[in-house]
Chain A
C-alpha cells in the first residue's frame, strides 16, 4: 500500500526579521511534514519562532528561502492576491484573542469567510447554522462578541475557521486568553474536530496541558525544530 502524501511539506525553510540595522534569523533550515488528519502542537519558548512558522504555513507571512507545500500547492510561489484566495478556501484561523469583528454578530462573523465563496445566501445560512450547532452556540448566533464570554468567542472563532471546510486549521495560542474551564472546552472541541471530523490542526502553544490534546508535539528552540514526540509535551 502506497504511503499517504503529507498535507504540509516544509523544506529548507529560512526566515529572518530586520531589527533596525540587524538581521535577526528566526527560522533556520526547517524541514518537516504534517500528515493529513494530524493534530500537531508546536511548542517552544517565547521568541523561538513557532508563531512565525505557523504564519508561514498559513500563508500570512512570506519566507526568505525554502518551500512550503500545502495540499500539493507550493504557497511560496503565490502572489499576494492568489495567496489571499488560497487562504480563503484552504486555511482556517484560530487566534489567541479570538479576533472576531466586533460590529458583526456571531452568525455574521461565522458567515464572513463564506462571502468569498460562490455559495447562495440560503446555502451560507445552512452552513453557518450547522457550524454553530457543532460548537454548541446556536442559541447565541445573534449576539455580538462583547455579549459573549471569552470561551464562547473562541468557539465562534473556531466555527468561523471551519465553516469553509479548509484543509488545515492553524491555531496560535488558542487558549492563551481563556480561564482553565473555557480552555478545556475549546481544546476538547478542537480534539473532537480532529478525531471525529479528521481536521488537520497545527496549534502553537506554550501550555503543556494544551499540547496534551494534540497527537504529535514538536519543540522549536532558537529556530531549530526538534523531532516529533507523540503525546510527550513535557
Chain B
C-alpha cells in the first residue's frame, strides 16, 4: 500500500530532524523507565511481602522496643503458626557507604518464616550451632569478597562497639524479587552482650515476625495479638508484612510523588518536542496532502499518514529507549545495589513505556491532522511551486 510507503519514507525525509526527535524520545523513555524502575524498587519490599506473615511492633513507634517475653503469649494466639523476633542492628562495615541491612534474629524461626532465603543444610546447621555465626545474602558477599568462615566486623551504631561475626552461610533468593543483601546473626549473641554492657536494654526486641496458618486469619490474629497487650506498658501494633512495608514507603511518599511528577513531566516535554516535529513536517507537506485529497484520498488516509509518521518516529525512539533502559538499570543497580537491592525493569514499566510512546504519538499528531484535513485543496495546492 503506497500510504504505508509514503508514511515510512516521510518519517526519514529530514534525517537530522527525525534523528534528533528520535534521540529525544529515546532519552525521555530511558529517563521515564529509570524513574519508574526506581519507584518499583521502592515498592519491591511491598511486592515481595507474604500474605501469611505479620509484623508486630511497639504501637508508639518502631524505635521503641517490646519485651521478649511477649513471644510466649503470642504463640498462644489461635491461628499463629510460628513466632520469630529480631532487632535492627544498624551496623556499619568498614565505612558508612558500605550500607547493607543487618538484623539480630532468632535463627531457626526466622529462616523457617522466610523459605525464600535458600541456604544449604550444612551452612544452616553450622549457623545454628555457632552463636557468633552470621548469614549474608549472595550479593553482599560478592560485593565485599567474603568467604564462608571469614570474620566480619561491624561497627555498632545502635549497639556501640566492634561486633565480630563469623560468616557461616550465604543465602540466595528463591526468585529475583528476594533481597539478597541482608545480613543476619543470632539475637542471643546480641542480647547476651547487651546484658553485660547495657543491662537495661536487654531482653528487648524491635519486632516480632508471626507466621499465620492462612492469609484469611491474618486480620483476626493481628487484632487478637494487639488485644493481648492493650493497656500494657508496651502496647503493640500488628499488621501484615505488606502493610508494615507500605508504612516504610509512606515515610518517603513525598520523594516518590516528586519522582512520579518528574517522570510525567518528561513525557509532557517529549510530547511537545514530537508535536513540534509533526507540526513542521505537516506544514512542509501540506501541498502533498492537498494532492492526495485532489486524487480522492479522504480524511482517513491523510490522518493515517500523519499519525503513522508520528508513530514510526515515536516507536523507534521508544524501542531504543527501552533497549537502553536495561543496561542503564544494570549500571544503577551496580552502583546503588545496597540501597535498592531489587532494581530491575518490570513488565509494567515496559507497558507504561509503550503506553507513554503511544500517547505521545497520538497527541503530537492531533493538531497536524486537524490542520491537514481542514485545509482547502486549492489553498494547499497554492503552497506548491
1/0 contact trace for B190-206 toward A, CB 8 Å? 00000000000000000
- Establish whether residues B297 and A116, one from each chain, have CB atoms under 8 Å apart when the complex forms: yes
Which residues on B sit within 8 Å (CB–CB) of A52?
378
| Interface size, B (range) | 20 to 34
- Establish whether residues B294 and A104, one from each chain, have CB atoms under 8 Å apart when the complex forms: no
Does A60 sit within 8 A of B, measured CB to CB?
yes
Which residue from A84, A93, A101 sits with its C-beta under 8 Å from B288? A101
Name the prevailing secondary structure of the A interface residues. helix
Say yes or no: A60-B378 contact (C-beta < 8 A), given A88-B295, A97-B384, A101-B291. Answer: yes
Say yes or no: A89-B296 contact (C-beta < 8 A), given A95-B381, A104-B5. Answer: yes
Does B9 sit within 8 A of A, measured CB to CB?
yes
Least Cβ–Cβ distance between A118 and chain B, in angstroms: 13
1/0 contact trace for A91-120 toward B, CB 8 Å? 001011101011110001001110110000
Does A61 sit within 8 A of B, measured CB to CB?
yes
- Establish whether residues A108 and B297, one from each chain, have CB atoms under 8 Å apart when the complex forms: no
Which residues on B sit within 8 Å (CB–CB) of A101?
2, 6, 288, 291-292
Does B10 sit within 8 A of A, measured CB to CB?
yes
- Establish whether residues A93 and B378, one from each chain, have CB atoms under 8 Å apart when the complex forms: no
Does B287 sit within 8 A of A, measured CB to CB?
yes
Does B376 sit within 8 A of A, measured CB to CB?
yes
Least Cβ–Cβ distance between B312 and chain A, in angstroms: 13
Which residues on B sit within 8 Å (CB–CB) of A55?
377-378
- Establish whether residues A60 and B294, one from each chain, have CB atoms under 8 Å apart when the complex forms: yes
Does A81 sit within 8 A of B, measured CB to CB?
yes
1/0 contact trace for B100-144 toward A, CB 8 Å? 000000000000000000000000000000000000000000000
Does A85 sit within 8 A of B, measured CB to CB?
yes
Does A87 sit within 8 A of B, measured CB to CB?
yes
- Establish whether residues A113 and B5, one from each chain, have CB atoms under 8 Å apart when the complex forms: no
Name the prevailing secondary structure of the B interface residues. helix
Which residue from A58, A85, A104 sits with its C-beta under 8 Å from B6? A104
Least Cβ–Cβ distance between B237 and chain A, in angstroms: 67
- Establish whether residues B296 and A113, one from each chain, have CB atoms under 8 Å apart when the complex forms: yes
A199 to B384, CA, bound (A): 27
A104 to B376, CA, bound (A): 24
Does B156 sit within 8 A of A, measured CB to CB?
no
Say yes or no: A113-B295 contact (C-beta < 8 A), given A60-B378, A97-B385, A108-B2. Answer: yes
Least Cβ–Cβ distance between B8 and chain A, in angstroms: 9
Which residue from B1, B298, B385 sits with its C-beta under 8 Å from A115? B1
Does B13 sit within 8 A of A, measured CB to CB?
yes
Across chains A and B, the number of contacting residue pairs, with CB separation under 8 Å, is 71
Within B286-329, the residues touching A (CB, 8 Å) are 287-288, 291-299
Chain A: interface residue total (CB-CB under 8 A): 29
A181 to B77, CA, bound (A): 105
Which residue from B295, B298, B378, B384 sits with its C-beta under 8 Å from A81? B298
- Establish whether residues B5 and A103, one from each chain, have CB atoms under 8 Å apart when the complex forms: yes
Within B210-248, the residues touching A (CB, 8 Å) are none
A234 to B264, CA, bound (A): 69
- Establish whether residues A103 and B295, one from each chain, have CB atoms under 8 Å apart when the complex forms: no
1/0 contact trace for B1-29 toward A, CB 8 Å? 11101100110010000000000000000
A95 to B295, CA, bound (A): 12
A52 to B376, CA, bound (A): 13
Which residues on B sit within 8 Å (CB–CB) of A58?
294
Which residues on B sit within 8 Å (CB–CB) of A88?
295-297
For A81, A86, A103, A160, the residue with the greatest tally of chain B CB atoms inside 10 Å of its CB is: A103
A88 to B13, CA, bound (A): 27
Least Cβ–Cβ distance between B264 and chain A, in angstroms: 36
Which residues on A sit within 8 Å (CB–CB) of B287?
99
A101 to B289, CA, bound (A): 9
Which residues on A sit within 8 Å (CB–CB) of B5?
103-104, 108
Say yes or no: A112-B295 contact (C-beta < 8 A), given A55-B378, A61-B378, A103-B6. Answer: yes
Least Cβ–Cβ distance between A44 and chain B, in angstroms: 17
- Establish whether residues B294 and A93, one from each chain, have CB atoms under 8 Å apart when the complex forms: yes
- Which A residues contact B (CB, under 8 angstroms)? 52, 55, 58, 60-61, 81, 84-89, 93, 95-97, 99, 101-104, 108, 111-113, 115-116, 160, 177
With A61-B378, A85-B298, A99-B294 known, 12 other A-B pairs at CB within 8 A are A81-B299, A84-B296, A87-B296, A88-B297, A89-B296, A97-B384, A99-B291, A99-B381, A99-B384, A103-B6, A112-B295, A116-B295
| CB-CB nearest 6 A-B residue pairs | A88-B296, A103-B9, A60-B377, A97-B385, A99-B291, A61-B378
